[in-house]
A = this chain, B = another copy of it.
Amino acid sequence: MQAAQVKFDTAGFLRQQPLFAGLKDSTLKNFSEYAVLRAEKKGTQLFSADAPNEQFFVVVSGWVKLFRETLDGEEAIIDILTAGQSFGEIGLSGSEPMPYGAAVVDDAQLVVLPRFMLAEEVMRNSVFGLAALQALTRQRIQRDLEIEHRTVQSAPQRIGCFLLKFCTGHAEEDAHTLHLPYDKAAIAYKLGMKPETFSRALQNLKADLGITVKGNAVTIPSVKALVDFTCSACSSSFPCKV
């Protein structure tokens, strides 16, 4: 007989996230009673820009993009998030519109919490307030870095920087194989370039650094060589913690 599907341990999951790590058991239990676990397929739109600010999301698995689009239909991808990252605006009131839309770029599971519960917890518990402040600060610094990258790095360098995020903890001298986590087109937009440019820039990395690409598998013969190529045009140095 088939075992019943194991229920997802929301409280346990949240406790592992820096934002929630300092909360009391009773609070986490309360949160998880109001939490919903959503599983969504690639392509699903979670909400659009200007939606009411009612929910806070924590990614359990998969990938989600945050984006803005202009009147004439251009899309700018602000960020692409994965397991352990979260989005939603505790610092905006419930009546202010969301400043971005969100959509799933690779099948994802998400914990969804009511925004007001987190806002109330900020008022009640200054430890949580400080944790939220820290999380948001890192987010903003991440954006600062993004602005710098788009100003001073070439397309191949931005790709190099992207690839290096998947090489942390790896010996610099060695070769390393990694898998691109979602569509190349989505990576391209996230890096602020067109898919065609992404494709061609990847060719440059092949030619100059001996990188090989097969489907979504990328092999980097020398992480050090890639660091040299990429990080000279950046203010932080590898491994680039944010």
Contact = CB atoms under 8 A, between A and B. Distances in A.
Interface residues of A, number: 49
A64 to B, nearest CB: 15
Contacts of A140: 136, 139-140, 143
Interface string A129-143: 110111011111101
A146 interface: yes
A90, A119, A139, A231, most chain B CB atoms within 10 A? A139
A90 B141 CA distance: 13
Please classify the interface of chain A as helix (H, G, I), strand (E, B), loop, or mixed, using the class held by over half of its residues. helix
Interface string A56-78: 00000000000011111010101
Nearest to A134: B91
A49 interface: yes
A124 interface: yes
A70 to B, nearest CB: 5
Contacts of A130: 91, 119, 122-123, 129
A122 B152 CA distance: 36
A233 interface: yes
Contacts of A233: 70-72, 74
Contact of A152 (B70, B124, B127, B134): B70
A151 B91 contact: no
B150 A91 contact: no
Contacts of A133: 90-91, 122, 129, 132-133, 136
Nearest to A130: B122
12 contacts: A68-B144, A72-B233, A76-B147, A89-B137, A91-B130, A99-B141, A122-B126, A132-B133, A139-B140, A143-B144, A147-B192, A151-B192
